Structure 1
């Protein structure tokens, strides 16, 4: 067993982000276990450290490569470049959604194999569901898994700043899609993709929507285009057949609530949380709001020096998040 000093050093190095010291102390623990005849445990610890170091090196190398790809020219005014480092494993998703996301990633990783058989991978995705349920995070994870930059389309600039030029500016975005392989996220997509049957339709937005339909149909690159909306019911019906896959996100169920809270609280949670009460308090809240409630409860435990998040403090934080939130429902 590691000594008290080693446990303290591990925690200090982890909280300060000193990876090298963390690995060094972990190897000291492995060496001590080997001296006590625990060869299997010592070997497992050394293997875990080696894997962590390799993953860290790959992440740094990947980040350096990703920063080479940046939007240029006028497209730079319409695209926010991001370089996420998050794995699909880090996301709390239902098994069904995780399987579909992994399928997209697998197809993208084996593009050449599919093309050799005359097939095209999924690359036009539509994410729908309530706010705070993981649409943007999932797009980030897909980009990270594929080691591609994430370009978030600034629809606010496209619609307001360039009123009258929106369709032409949209062409610039799709020029970038076809020239630079990346994941392009059209967030709050209903702002341009709402139904053409809507009574609020105007000529400018109709031109933008029609242009989008043409451009996405004519994509000729390996980029991924992801459109995300909180209001799937508002979208024009013609859009659905332009996408390769529709992934519908939903509010977390009991299992996802527990997974979310476990991942956020980790060692700061009290040993015996009363899960039925917590799940009831978190019902109908989004992943985002549950995460914020966990952070609020953690802050209280730190400021009040209680050291642990209890069932009572967590439920209070969850109820507080609910007080000022409008009902999460699809219009």
Structure 2
């Protein structure tokens, strides 16, 4: 059962009306019971806490001060319907959501819901949005770990911070996004890979292998060729993203422009000009056109008026590619 310290801490947090602290300690009790082999009790505790949180909406947990600057927390508002992505990607995200909601049913058969996901694709293709959608649909906070800030020059410090983050993953239920993941997931066989980074990667492999929480762990990268091959088998699912095809571009532009779109919108040139641009670049171009329409008191946006910001984005895109 719960330790004496857990019981005293629960009582203190209750009488001080510290609900967040009460939930945290209760989750620690659940983790303690799980380690003792009392998995059914641990799950019952988590279910009770989740039910209460859903009534009030997810709350952002204050991370320890020494890792606060490494984690950005938010309650996303992007629903699944807002995603414009290939059908196979949306179906696989829907599968993650469905398995999460039916996790107890799976556990009765000795199975686990998929919750460790690797997202691969160019910048701006919807990887971060996917994490936001999962958090929104599952009524969980999204915690984005800034991997580039996690890595330090001091030996052992990065692995220590990584351990603290995985401790939080165990204690605080949520969606955890490791963005720019290749900063710590680099191939250990590469000649220029320093010893410290190999130790960091080994630590991550160990932590994610041992993780038994119900939190979703999502890693996103633009450079899959840099990743160590051992990482791939640690994830339950790997999703590959790409720039939107014609039908997706048309749907995205129509969704963003909404009522600003003119009735006789000439699609051909717009679809040609937007070819090769990412979801994010097209979204920004549409919003630039909307701002221009508002500032010039125009009620509608024609294809010609959208072409200018699209061409600007294309020049930027081609300049980066070049």
TM-score (norm 1): 0.77
Equivalent residues in 2 for 1:1-331 (5 A)? 62=54, 64-67=56-59, 69-160=61-152, 164-326=156-318
Deviations 1:73-93 (A, max 9, x none): 534343221111221111111
- CA drift of 1:158 comes to 1.2
- CA drift of 1:111 comes to 0.9
Preserved CA contact (<8 Å) 1:130 1:328: no
Preserved CA contact (<8 Å) 1:183 1:226: yes
Alignment partners' CA distance in 1, 2:153 and 2:74: 22
- CA drift of 1:294 comes to 0.4
Alignment partners' CA distance in 2, 1:82 and 1:247: 23
Q: State which structure, 1 or 2, has the greater radius of gyration over its C-alpha atoms.
A: 1
Deviates more, 1:76-85 or 1:292-301: 76-85
Alignment partners' CA distance in 2, 1:166 and 1:289: 33
Gaps of 5+ in 2: 1-52
Preserved CA contact (<8 Å) 1:75 1:176: no
Alignment partners' CA distance in 1, 2:59 and 2:165: 19
TM-score (norm 2): 0.79
- 1:156 alignment partner, SS class: helix
Shift of the 96–327 alpha-carbon distance from structure 1 to 2, 3 Å rule, reads farther
- 2:136 alignment partner, SS class: helix
Deviations 1:169-191 (A, max 9, x none): 10111111111111110000011
Preserved CA contact (<8 Å) 1:78 1:173: no
Gaps of 5+ in 1: 1-60
- CA drift of 1:299 comes to 1.8
Alignment partners' CA distance in 2, 1:234 and 1:327: 23
- CA drift of 1:166 comes to 0.4
Deviations 1:7-51 (A, max 9, x none): xxxxxxxxxxxxxxxxxxxxxxxxxxxxxxxxxxxxxxxxxxxxx
Preserved CA contact (<8 Å) 2:103 2:113: yes
- CA drift of 1:311 comes to 0.9
- CA drift of 1:325 comes to 2.0
Deviations 1:228-258 (A, max 9, x none): 0111121111100010000011100011101
Q: How many residues align?
A: 269
Alignment partners' CA distance in 2, 1:163 and 1:156: 16
Query: What does residue 38 of structure 2 align with?
Result: none
